[in-house]
Structure 1
Amino acid sequence: MRYVLIIITLSMALSSFSQKEPANNPKITELVMSMSQRSLVMPGYLTDLKALVARQAYEFWKNGNTELYVSHLNVYQALYQANKYLGYDSARDMTYNQVGFHSNTVTSVVFSSDPNFYYSSSTDGKILKWNVNEPRNIPEVVYESEKIIQSIEMSSDGKILMAIFYQKGLALIPTVQNPQKDISVLEDPQPVQTATFIPGERKYLSVTKEGDLILKGFDAQAKNVGKTALKVNKLKVDQQNGTVYAGTEQGVLEAWEKPYEVKESPIEDIMKNWHEQSYFGYELGSFAINCLDINPDGNTLAIGRDRGDVILWDISKKELIRIISGHQSTVTDIQFSPNGKLLLTTSRDGSARIWDLSDSRKLPIILDDHNDWVFTGSFNPSGSQVITGGGDEYIRTWPVDPAFFASRICELVDRSLTQEEWNEFVGINIPYEGTCRK
């Protein structure tokens, strides 16, 4: 009798287990994708309905045992487009996350040492300072020139901006108010291919038109610490070991192991060391390298190329980790998130993308609402927001977490889906619930 009871108990347990839903319910996943797409194609004048369908798709995605890898291609896009029309200013043709005022291509955005402010540069010759919390306010003009600003960079201490001009040298611009006026704009007229700050030092490294690597202090004293025969598009200095990386037009990644350390050795020894020991060149193909960044841990170099892909490079092993593909045109800018888990890329294909580096199966978040090439992008210091700029003269702000969009919908829409709308967009077999519970 006892054996019979054991068999019955096991049979009931197995039956109960077999009736449980799988970890990822494919029907709910399909519903999420369908609702997201229906929200995306819905006309903008159906503002509330477009938003509520996107919000309900998000609720199913987060709480319905769905396949989360569909999120960035479907849920984020639907939520963004819904929020775009909820915040649309028809008089000025501006969406809620759109910032204006530059009169030409936006070439760079960099954050201040204060996370509430960031700076943007443009080919209109201006550098503007923006308040993150008041994006529609008129920005402060911190620098203005007739020269074309190719890019800007912030010093490690956040006190100096470097503006690199197209074939016209560079300028060092203080970002702090200085009543004594003992620090003013320092202009270096020597034409450069590109330049970068030395981390933790009041020095910068530039590549002249002739290919010389020149180290300069803010007193403009110069030392030649290397040379290249290639055209350099981008410099990046490893703040942990001082290695200088150069991305070149010819597709070669060049590296100099701390060539600027000249405290004890005469320049002749440094040049000899550069020739014999400290220079490396890595052939990565024939596609131009346009942008570089090093993750916060200092072990990975990200390399953006004309091919539209990104190479992840192991710094210590000096070898390729993997290639990230997705853009349809040149990668123009690249940046790791502050925690190193995400990677932001911008491209001439008109989009920016946020890649989750912890899982290569995850689709990227695609930010594609610029009307021209996207030249620049930056995470804010907390990694919760991305700012992009491009050829359409606009700056756009994007939350990384789609929960921001979902929450904003229920702040702006004062109703839920009706039962009839639920039946049409969700289905009669799924119990009704209030999309925005108030």
Structure 2
Amino acid sequence: MRQLILTFLLAAFISLKAQTSSNPTTTELVMSMSQRSLVMPGYLTELKALVAQQAYIFWKEGNVEPYVSHLNVYQALYEANKYLGYDSIRGLAYNQVGFHSNTVTSVVFGADPDSYYSSSTDGKIYKWSMSDPQKIPKTVYASDKIIQSIEMSNDGKILMAIFYQKGLALIPTEKNQQEDLGVLEDPQPVQTATFIPGERRYLSVTKAGDLILKGFNAQAENVGKTALKVNQLKVDEQDGTIYAGTDQGVLEAWEKPYEVKESPIEDIMENWRKQSYFGYELGSFAIKCLDISPDGNTLAIGRDRGDVILWDIPNKQLIRIISGHQSTVTDIQYNAKGDLLLTTSRDGTARIWDLTDSRKLPIILDDHDDWVFTGSFDPSGTKIITGGADEYIRTWPIDPAYFAFRICAMIDRNLTKEEWNEFVGSEIAYEITCGE
């Protein structure tokens, strides 16, 4: 009996050892093939794509370590797709939608899930089609002012263009509203502004630091005051709390009922949770952008340091810090489920972070040629749009399965036996990569 138990345990150990040792082999193969596809020159378009596609197949079907290889697979598939159907006349890869004549500062979606809007320092706002990305965009607004950013009202009917030192404008998105209302301009210079969720009012921070509520037919109301420079405002849809990200690295907040409170930086800790105002020093790095999770429990804070702070709203405390960017985080957004976080940066990349598993590396989107200033999930949550200082707007599918499908739809051959032996290995049985 004892001998039988020992024999069983030995067999189990050998089996476990074999399974364990096979995992790195598949992982290493996937990563090696992905890297070889990435470094392959663009003129070997089909071979580049087929190697990336076969690596994806091994990744999906094999027992592969998930925390590293998904990034390699995504980048290889993307790079291969970039050269499939490349527009050599206009010099556009498949995901380059088009461009402004200057820096792209914001992209936002409205009521129509097939359309989105972009703004630029060239003073123009364009409306683009998701289903027909090469369609010439419609000019929604044009001026000689530098557009710092744009925001969309909750109902998707009003665009707010925030100008650099020139106030702001409210622009109806529907043609009949444009004809009836026209463009409403507020000439008072502001640091930044945002819409109040569910209301036809907006909140702005004046150059003097006054937080002012205004509306189409409502009297202006002073609801707070700050001594700090505010880069972005965010209003909590659930309780109306106003959050301000400041250049001094302080997160400020005004809770309802709003009261006018001074907030000099030296009094931040003393004022903590007094009445309707609180402020919290998060270090000396400027807070550039904010977003609130769909469940209202977490505030994502993008900093000049290149990291993101996740802030527990109910408990008013730090959850964790996400690091990865090499320069300022310029924009930040949760997806509709709240499990993904999109960040853009002056390091020239956008990144998609999986918030359900901190060990998982982000997907890095690095094809912009300059600072990336803006990014947004589309309403379906399957794509993102980015724009930046290279003047281009780009679209990025989130699921690598889209890239894999596109490769096999555009290529009518498979790896040859010789190519298989070189890039996969003769010890692995040959298989068809893209069907018969």
Q: How does 1:24-39 map to 2 (within 5 A)?
A: 25-39=23-37
Query: Deviations 1:302-342 (Å, cap 9, x if unpaired)?
Result: 00000000000000010000000000000000000110000
Mapping for residues 260-271 of structure 1, pairs under 5 Å? 260=258, 270-271=259-260
Deviations 1:7-44 (A, max 9, x none): 59946963784475239710110011110110000000
Q: Where does residue 158 of structure 2 map in the other structure? A: 160
For residue 295 of structure 1, what is the aligned residue in structure 2?
293
Q: Which letter does structure 1 place at the counterpart of 2:196?
A: I
Q: Deviations over 1:253-276 (max 9, x none)?
A: 00000355xxxxxxxxx4379995
Tell me what 2:251 maps to. 253
Displacement of 1:437 in angstroms is 1.1
* Aligned match of 1:277: 275
Output the CA distance in 2 between the equivalents of 1:9 and 1:248.
67
Q: Is the 8 A contact 2:227 2:262 kept in 1?
A: no
CA 1:18–1:372 in structure 2 vs 1: closer, same or farther (change >3 Å)?
Answer: closer
The verdict on how the C-alpha distance between 1:233 and 1:180 changes in structure 2, with shifts beyond 3 A counting, is closer
Structure 2 residue matching 1:182: 3-state secondary structure: helix
| Structure 1 residues 252 and 30, CA gap change in structure 2 (3 angstroms) | same
Identity rate, percent: 76
Are residue 108 (structure 1) and residue 97 (structure 2) matched? no
- With over 3 angstroms needed to count, the CA separation of the structure-2 counterparts of 1:273 and 1:12, relative to structure 1, is closer
Bigger mean CA deviation after superposition, 229-238 or 274-283: 274-283
Counterpart-to-counterpart distance in 1, 2:172 and 2:283: 39
Amino acid paired to 1:234 = Q
Return the letter of the residue paired with 2:127: K
Contact kept in structure 2, 1:23 and 1:65, CA below 8 Å: no
Matched residue count: 427
How far does the alpha carbon of each residue in 1:120-146 deviate from its partner, in whole angstroms, 9 at most, with x for none?
A: 000010100011000101011111110
**Alignment CA distance shift 1:323-1:410 (3 Å):** same
Pick from 95, 102, 111 the counterpart of residue 97 of structure 1: 95
Q: Distance between the aligned counterparts of 1:351 and 1:82, measured in 2? A: 18
**Alignment of structure 1 residues 165-314 onto 2, 5 Å:** 165-178=163-176, 181-219=179-217, 221-260=219-258, 270-271=259-260, 277-314=275-312
Amino acid at match of 1:151: S
Q: Which runs of 5+ in 1 are unaligned?
A: 261-269
Structure-2 separation of matches of 1:19 and 1:235:
55
Quote how far apart the aligned CAs of 1:87 are: 2.5
CA distance 1:11–1:196, shift in 2 (3 Å): closer
Q: Is the 8 A contact 2:172 2:178 kept in 1?
A: no
- Give the counterpart of 2:134 among 126, 129, 136: 136
TM-score between the two structures when normalised by the length of structure 1:
0.93
> Secondary structure of 2:116's match?
strand
Tell me the C-alpha RMSD between the 2 structures. 2.0
From the superposition, tell whether residues 10 and 168 of structure 1 become closer, same or farther in structure 2 (CA, over 3 Å): same
Pick closer, same or farther for the CA change 1:323–1:273 going to 2, 3 Å: closer
TM-score, normalised to structure 2, is 0.94
Q: Select which of 67, 84, 87 maps to 2:85.
A: 87
Partner of 1:333: 331
Report what 1:417 is aligned to: 415
